[in-house]
Amino acid sequence: MAATGLVAAQDPPTRIGRLNYVSGSVSFQPGGVNDWVPATINRPLTAGDQVYVDAGARAEIHVPGAAFRLGSQTAFEFMNLDDSNTQVRLSEGSLDVRVRRLNQNFEVDTPTLAYTITRPGAYRIDTNPDTNETYVTVRSGEGRVTGNAGTFAVHVGEQAAVTGQNGVQLNMYRAPDYDDFDNWVQSRDRREDRAPSARYVSSDMVGYEDLDQYGSWRSVPEYGRCWAPRNVSSDWAPYHDGHWAWVDPWMELGG
């Protein structure tokens, strides 16, 4: 029994991130590695992995139950990602978080504050380390800002502005109007909301939202609704095209 418990303790987490959209120049640095490389679609992401979105670029990362959208000149890192916690660091730039399902601790850290999401919803965080400013905007949902100024709830339609080194001053405002980044985020949300695959596949299945781009659903008498690819060769098979990569702690993963 002791040996069984040791094996269970060493099992890797079942939750993993996926870089599923890149536009423009986006770089990636795996945890424990010093070099940055161009980011590639479908890259698995876990604790310690960093993504940098250059000027004029954008990126999207999915974890089960949530989506992160990264704006221009944004530095993002997974600090913790397991079955109980999703904790990310936004060092600079703009980050939109849409949480569809909340069944774990969910936190976004910036140089001036920690923001804990307490309900499913849509959130935007902007931070500038040069001016020690962070803005948290809640479009829907609710969460808590924690800094040296204390802990404060931020409600729907509000924006919290935390300024000063380590977040010593907090002001509350009405949420600003949507800008180009918000409009792009909404277009990505609509894409997910209208995806037929969401009716047949659990959102815990990494990559489910891309099934509609590469195939369609049909009724098969023996099995019910089944997905079939389109525009592929007659000898196509899953995991046949692409490559394999060594990613700790899951060993080899297909791409």
Q: What is the pLDDT of residue 7?
A: 47
Q: What value does the mean pLDDT take over residues 219-232?
A: 90
CA 181 to chain centre: 16
CB 59 within 8 A of CB 52: no
Q: What is the pLDDT of residues 2-27, one digit of tens each?
A: 554 544 456 777 888 999 999 999 99
The amino acid that residue 101 corresponds to is R
Q: What is the pLDDT of residues 123-158, one digit of tens each?
A: 999 999 999 999 999 999 999 999 887 899 999 999
Q: Coil, helix or strand for 193?
A: helix
Q: What is the pLDDT of residues 162-189, one digit of tens each?
A: 988 766 678 899 999 999 999 999 999 9
Q: What value does the mean pLDDT take over residues 34-50?
A: 92
Tokens 């999401």, located at residue? 117
Q: What is the pLDDT of residue 87?
A: 97
**Does the pLDDT at position 246 exceed 90?**
no
Tokens 């303790």, located at residue? 9
Q: Which residues, in sequence order, are CB contacts of 112 under 8 Å at separation 6+?
A: 127, 132, 133, 134, 147, 162, 163, 164, 165, 166, 167
Q: What is the pLDDT of residues 52-89, one digit of tens each?
A: 999 999 999 999 989 999 999 999 999 999 989 999 99
What domains sit in the chain, N to C, each tagged with a CATH number?
2-188 (2.60.120.1440), 203-254 (no CATH)
